[in-house]
Amino acid sequence: METASVWRKLSFFISSSHSQNYLSHCYKQLGIPDYERRSFENCYPFIYYLEHGKSYYELSRISPLSIKPVLLFYGMIQLLKACLLTVDPNYPESTSVLAHGVTTRKRKKQSYEFLQDEVKIQRNGLFTHIAEQMFHMKHLEGEKFTMEVLLKRVGELKDLFTYSKKAPELYAVKRVSDTMISVPKPILDRYNMTEDRFIEYFQSSCSHLDIHPEVSQNTKDYIYFRSSLENWNGLLSSPLTYDFYTNTHYLPINRELMNVFPEMLVHYLLLYNLSMISRYETEWWSELLHSYSTEDYPFIHQFLSVSSDKIPYYIYLYLITKTK
């Protein structure tokens, strides 16, 4: 879906009557007793968050790369606040959810590499609140992630990792039909599993995708599964990795990357760190943008381009699925 088309579709909500009816439906589904009153109170904040977020994204498209991370991070935050209002009518109920909820380690001026940098999740803050309210994920406090691990969860960067690391990072999950997918058998060696064990593992890991083995179709090169692919999208596809531009899902080669961490949270962590670097590590950031002396630049440049297209699409998917 084109990014401009996504914003056009989101414009449906830029109406007090539409947004109030929408929020009323969301709150009624949640069993909130005074859902009509709460939807009336929240319809304008909901609209303002979407409009404010859109303004950040539009400005990021014509901004220099040096300030793009800041614009994309705060644009994403505004869009996520709109999403939060669909599941938490009291947001923001306390000041504890206003902080970012993430920290970065102190950087060394010499030999700093962005791909090896880390972020750490705090107990309180917006990130934790989003994870709990929108994705039902708890107990993330203290978890650390390197930028490289996070970037590997962004499907559009697969070629860049292949060229840089001289080895593939992902196996494509091929769509055979509207109800059938296939997985290449070389994945068995990488996961150190038998075919039967992998089928069990894949089915349980992707239980939300309603995957069922189709053993009778298996060949020497592929393992087949049945699934209703109309419900597959990048927002809900974890632990698979999704490429927005080719509408392709992938299995990571390393089983350690097979986790259910939603990609929207991946973008939050990456954009948070990049926005902090842009604001507070001006010397290193400027050298990166002008010297091209490390492998960090292409990863950062491509990620920012992808994120500017992908996050509005994910926001649209999150909101629109609540109308069903």
pLDDT of 150 higher than 90? yes
Average pLDDT on 154-182 reads 86
Q: What percent of the chain has pLDDT over 70?
A: 96
Q: Which comes out higher in pLDDT, residue 260 or 112?
A: 112
Residues 169 and 211 in one domain: yes
pLDDT at res. 4: 76
Residues 296 and 174 in one domain: no
CB 269 within 8 A of CB 68: no
pLDDT at res. 109: 63
Average pLDDT on 41-63 reads 96
Residues 108 and 162 in one domain: no
15-24 CB burial, b ≥16 within 10 A, e <16: eeeebbebbb
Residues 8 and 52 in one domain: yes
Residues 143 and 165 in one domain: no
Residues 135 and 172 in one domain: no
Q: What percent of the chain has pLDDT over 90?
A: 59
Residues 80 and 179 in one domain: no
Please name every residue paired with 241 in a beta bridge, in sequence order, or none if there are none.
Answer: 250
CB 267 within 8 A of CB 307: yes
Residue-range definition of the domain harbouring residue 72: 3-153+262-321
Give the domain-ending residue among 206, 223, 257.
Answer: 257
pLDDT at res. 257: 74
Rounded Cα gap, residues 305 and 162, in angstroms: 19
User: Structural domain tally of the chain?
Assistant: 2
pLDDT at res. 93: 84
Give the domain-ending residue among 242, 257, 272.
Answer: 257
Report the chain's mean pLDDT, rounded to a whole number: 90
In terms of phi and psi (left: phi > 0; alpha: psi -120 to 50; beta: otherwise), the region of 292 is left
Please name every residue paired with 170 in a beta bridge, in sequence order, or none if there are none.
Answer: 252
Residues 65 and 198 in one domain: no
In terms of phi and psi (left: phi > 0; alpha: psi -120 to 50; beta: otherwise), the region of 260 is alpha
Q: Which comes out higher in pLDDT, residue 188 or 231?
A: 188
| CB within 8 Å of 279: residues ≥ 6 apart | 70
| CB within 8 Å of 232: residues ≥ 6 apart | 209, 249
